[in-house]
Chains A and B, each alone.
Chain A
């Protein structure tokens, strides 16, 4: 058995193969994260990087926990961006997958074209999606306001990205538009693996359309729904560009989220220490989530590797 003999001889090989990846991961993820933790206990300023910061213990964390602004930021990140944003995506993704899977599209020869066109938002880079939606939602130039005015639904154009009542729905629309295809496609693939006998049997037993969805289709899609919910949570919670390039956290700090707060505190207010503390809170939340991901998704997907 060459493998039995190979174990000792292959150690240099294993080291050689893993060292390059390790170099990048340690230098890029591990070291900066630890350094960030250290900076979070100082009052380091962007404008005094050379002098360095003074050790101030947990003062940054005390300020953060007691600050109303930060409570607002956490609320925005958790409730608006993540919970509402992800829920909208999962529900619409499910609806879209059911629509694309329906036999009606087959009959009217819309199946192929709809699947190709579904990929367009996904292939559009977020930075470009934001450009397009900033124009679409623009009060003077944008087509959405022109359409609403033309149909007589509104009398004054709506400044979607600067009115408090509209800005979160507008942001969630942009993120949903850009990320919906991935969710819908993943559900569609799961739908296609649903044996049609199951649905036929349910129909014979007298299950209506709603009951088939509730008792046959949704249970079958459950693994895909769990995966997509977890992955969307990461992508959305961690994301910086959508909020930054659409509203920069505004109007005021109304749409400020944790990712933009880290950036604003470090590079606009110049408070590197405080910014690092926000980052540590963010990383802690994500590591907790990451453990759930590893446990329930990755370890199943890569059974042989673990």
Chain B
């Protein structure tokens, strides 16, 4: 009771945690175990990709090699990386542009049927992609568009639109409406108000949305599996899983390819997400 009513203590080492010392140590141990559980699988992939085949599965031995990467690129993997990169970047550019202008309209304009239309766009997020695979396969087959990057570009643009609109409307709702109204009263056209006033303010939100969209396409497996069968057209995730065999798997190549798939998402995601969560924290624990 005394602790609860005492004057606020300096946040030094004498923090009252409400636990006895053994209790505190048990919690610290638990935290460390949980963190190992969370980090181990990813860390291991990256470490193993640099290990020789002889030491790859040993927990204690480590011999450094780049052999896994060399043998990965001998399979023509550079082509698969290139396929993934240009498909994802092109799709993200189109989808972010299309979503940004749609999001502005949903956020700022009033028109009949808006609730229904906006609700349908949001519903797209909850839609099972798998049920689109069969009909799209039939349609693409009829049009001769299987094994075609143009159809993949269409698919990747379409799958990222609903959640991009969702995120961007969220950002726009945080930008005061009085800004564009003032610009229009001052004689700007709608387009000028968007381009000169709203776009610069929204830019961080647009970049974040595009990053998420990129990561979604970068790791997409299902549509690529159904629509791409030619090796030279395959995206990275497909090429990666081709190294798994019924009886034996080429673990060296699998590890190198997995590390290459993860690297950009880790590099893009950690800064983005750390900023987002620290922002959340900063907003709620204001002193």
Contact with A along B128-157 (1 / 0, CB 8 A): 111111111111011000000000001101
Q: Which residues of A contact B274 (CB under 8 A)?
A: 115-116, 119
Does A28 count as interface, using CB distance less than 8 angstroms? yes
A234 at the interface (CB under 8 A from B): yes
Q: Are A28 and B158 in contact (CB under 8 A)?
A: yes
Interface of B is mostly: helix
C-alpha spacing A62/B273, complex, angstroms? 48
* Chain A, Cβ-Cβ closest to B125: A234
* Candidate in A106, A126, A279 with the most chain B CB atoms within 10 angstroms: A279
Most chain A CB neighbours (cut-off 10 Å) among B133, B155, B244: B133
Contact A124 B41 (CB under 8 A): yes
| Cβ of A219 under 8 Å from chain B | no
> Total contacts A to B, CB within 8 angstroms?
298
Question: Closest B-chain residue to A126, C-beta based?
Answer: B219
B99-135 residues at the A interface, CB under 8 angstroms = 99, 101-102, 104-107, 109-111, 114-115, 117-135
By secondary structure, the A interface counts as helix
Is B269 at the interface (CB under 8 A from chain A)? yes
B226 at the interface (CB under 8 A from A): yes
Q: A106-B15, A240-B130 are in contact. Are A114 and B262 (CB under 8 A)?
A: no
Chain B neighbourhood of A180, CB < 8 A: 38
Interface size on B, residues (CB 8 A): 109
User: Is B222 an interface residue when CB atoms closer than 8 A count as contact?
Assistant: yes
Contact B41 A104 (CB under 8 A): no
Question: Quick check: which of B65-73, B75-83, B276-284 contacts chain A, the rest being far away?
Answer: B276-284
Q: Which of B15, B102, B219 contacts A20 (CB 8 A)?
A: B102
Q: Of all chain A residues, which has the CB nearest B226?
A: A267
Give the Cβ gap from A157 to chain B, nearest Cβ, in Å. 13
The answer for the CA separation of A105 and B32 in the assembled complex, in Å, is 10
Which residues of A are found within 8 Å of B181, using beta-carbon distances? 3
List 4 additional contacts besides A36-B134, A120-B39; criterion CB under 8 Å.
A28-B158, A103-B16, A124-B41, A136-B44
26 contacts between A and B (CB under 8 A): A24-B158, A29-B124, A29-B158, A35-B138, A49-B141, A99-B30, A103-B17, A110-B28, A118-B35, A131-B254, A131-B258, A141-B251, A192-B281, A193-B284, A234-B126, A238-B129, A238-B130, A241-B222, A262-B130, A262-B134, A263-B222, A267-B137, A298-B122, A301-B170, A302-B169, A305-B173
Residues on A facing B (Cβ under 8 Å): 2-3, 6-7, 10-11, 13-14, 17-18, 20-21, 24-25, 27-29, 32-33, 35-36, 39, 44, 49, 96, 99-100, 102-108, 110, 113-129, 131-136, 141, 143, 146, 177, 180-181, 185, 189, 192-193, 200, 203-204, 209, 234, 237-238, 240-241, 245, 258-259, 262-263, 266-267, 272, 275-276, 279-280, 282-283, 286-287, 289-290, 293-294, 298, 301-302, 304-306
- Shortest beta-carbon contacts, A-B, top 6: A279-B131, A28-B158, A125-B219, A123-B269, A238-B128, A132-B41
